[in-house]
A and B are shown apart, each in its own frame.
Chain A
């Protein structure tokens, strides 16, 4: 059984058995994690190609969690300190508690090698600014499902301007009722219709 393939095919029991087997054989957990990352990248690609959808992403998240349970939380830390493609600060804006779209964006950015800091839902403008100063991301990704999100996004960007931080970061927006026309309204840099768009936009901005 090919370990990477078993993850990609979401055969959770086989993955479980293989991880335990490799650990018993004394293999370096970091090597196992390398394979896991490769598998997650393939899963992300399948999502981009519309071969996989939300049920597969959620299942792969479960598999990943189980692997971490076996390998230990230290690995998770070592993963985060690794050099990645670029930093993205992500969150659902104030007033809105929807998280599904944001979580998919997080998954896809992570699978594609970005270092993502997810602030969660209903995040006030001040919290975004504070985290931006500390985390120093290249990309700020604002999510919102409700129409009230337009003004919350606008407020964040106005406050970034006032704090003299607007030029330090590129801003992409997306979610439920957000569309291209809102980019101008909130003065962001781009709109992404899907998590795949989010990866493409972030890649363009961090490579340049």
Chain B
């Protein structure tokens, strides 16, 4: 916490207090004075609202942070979008990171147009034969094999010495590691260029943004403990979709072991990435976002979810709760079939999570688990892009009727403010929340 207390006026302080209380209430499933309106944004909405290109957003973090302020300070959210850059393009360039295609990438094979959003490439980065290695020495595998494959610029890690030797020869093997030719050139690569500045630029941009927003009475999320569900970590970043889906039939035990190892590792390292999101400002609301992808209805059956996805996902959420974090799974896609599982977890951990939904029967969610968990969502992207303010108003009104009773509900989009959203529709979403969301005492 900084000395920000003196920097904000009494009036602003009051606004911050009110918003913060409102949000704490809904997370605790209590009735606040009004339903809060939350803003979470896709990365490139800001570009479309200013003169910046998508490429600028990824390559010019300080400029992007200023644009973020200009764009989002226009809306009266209860939690504003954080300055949330998941991809520092210069660092990707340096590492020659092969997993994402993005605008302006130095590698022509990964380069997208200046106004195209970045997209992940699904690939089988680890072969099925490598489960044995992964499941007995995950860290060794990731350092020596996966990182050099996915990021050739970090290829020096292939020379990482065996940890088991460290107690005996550590004083020799570790210095030797830094003398390896590949390792030296890797370090040089990072020394020469301004990559670290690029990273620092993101953090500095974020700090400036956070301070300016607070002065205006705007609360931000503190994205601590950001992670993926272990199955998704395996499926999206390691074995690929085809790989994991075949493993579910051919090598189910290896897959389950791997996913559990990932879960343990996530739980142990919760908090390790928090610096990426800057120091939390006073009044920022801690939320641990986990995007849930391949556990959704269209990917697997309930039986498969129960066997392969749910145990490790649950374990990570429990680990977060134990460490005082608020898990906020974002359920992308349709998740109606999963309602019973999510309800059961909510009942076991009342007031401890935020469930953010994309496509689901919100009314049913409210009925089944509304007394135990704060629910968030789900104004559709299509409506914010192609609809009218009046349609948005009607949609939000209905959502509040379906989900607002007794508190525990936040109005938000289903997938973040989409890049192509119309400004007046975002305004309509916020105004409708203020209009229909007030609770009578």
Contact = CB atoms under 8 A, between A and B. Distances in A.
Are these two chains actual partners, yes or no?
A: yes
Interface of A: 10, 50, 53-56, 58-59, 62, 95-101, 146-148, 150-151, 176-179, 181-182, 185, 194
B298 A54 contact: yes
Interface in B105-123: 113, 116-117, 119, 121-122
B245 A177 contact: no
A53 B301 contact: yes
A177 B381 contact: yes
B101 A97 contact: yes
Given A148-B116, A151-B420, A177 B246 contact: no
Of the candidates A62, A100, A151, A177, the one having the most CB atoms from chain B within 10 angstroms of its own CB is A177
Interface string B371-383: 0000000001111
A127 B420 CA distance: 24
Given A177-B415, A179-B380, A148 B245 contact: no
Given A97-B101, A148-B116, A148-B419, A55 B245 contact: yes
Nearest to A57: B245
Nearest to B359: A179
Nearest to A62: B246
B299 A147 contact: no
Contacts of B415: 177
Contact of B420 (A50, A55, A150, A179): A150
Given A97-B119, A98-B119, A150 B249 contact: no
Nearest to A56: B249
B381 to A, nearest CB: 4
Contacts of A97: 101, 119, 121
28 contacts: A10-B249, A50-B301, A53-B299, A53-B300, A53-B301, A54-B300, A55-B304, A56-B249, A58-B242, A58-B246, A59-B245, A59-B246, A95-B113, A95-B116, A97-B119, A100-B122, A101-B298, A147-B419, A148-B420, A176-B333, A177-B381, A178-B382, A179-B380, A181-B380, A181-B386, A181-B387, A182-B386, A185-B386
Nearest to B113: A95
Nearest to A151: B420
A53 B387 contact: no
Contacts of A10: 249
Contacts, number: 74
Given A177-B415, A182-B386, A54 B117 contact: no
The 6 closest A-B pairs by CB, nearest first: A147-B418, A55-B245, A185-B386, A58-B245, A177-B381, A55-B248
B245 A54 contact: yes
Contacts of A59: 245-246, 249
Interface core residue of B42, B249, B304, B333 (most chain A CB under 10 Å): B249
Contact of A55 (B42, B300, B381, B385): B300
A63 to B, nearest CB: 11
Contacts of B385: 147, 150
A176 B415 CA distance: 10
A192 B380 CA distance: 16
Nearest to B241: A100
Contact of B382 (A56, A62, A179): A179
A142 B70 CA distance: 36
Contacts of B122: 99-100
A181 B246 contact: no
A78 to B, nearest CB: 27
Contact of B298 (A150, A177, A194): A194
A53 B420 contact: no
Given A53-B299, A150-B385, 9 more contacts: A58-B246, A95-B113, A101-B298, A147-B385, A147-B418, A150-B382, A150-B386, A177-B382, A178-B382
A182 B246 contact: no
Contacts of B304: 53, 55
A68 B248 CA distance: 23
B245 A181 contact: no
Interface string B112-141: 010011010110000000000000000000
A182 to B, nearest CB: 5
A147 B101 contact: no
A15 B229 CA distance: 35
Contacts of B387: 181
A8 B291 CA distance: 33
A59 B243 CA distance: 10
A194 B246 CA distance: 22
Contact of B418 (A58, A96, A177, A185): A177
Interface in B368-400: 380-383, 385-387
A62 B250 CA distance: 12
A56 B248 CA distance: 9
A42 to B, nearest CB: 17
A64 B142 CA distance: 33
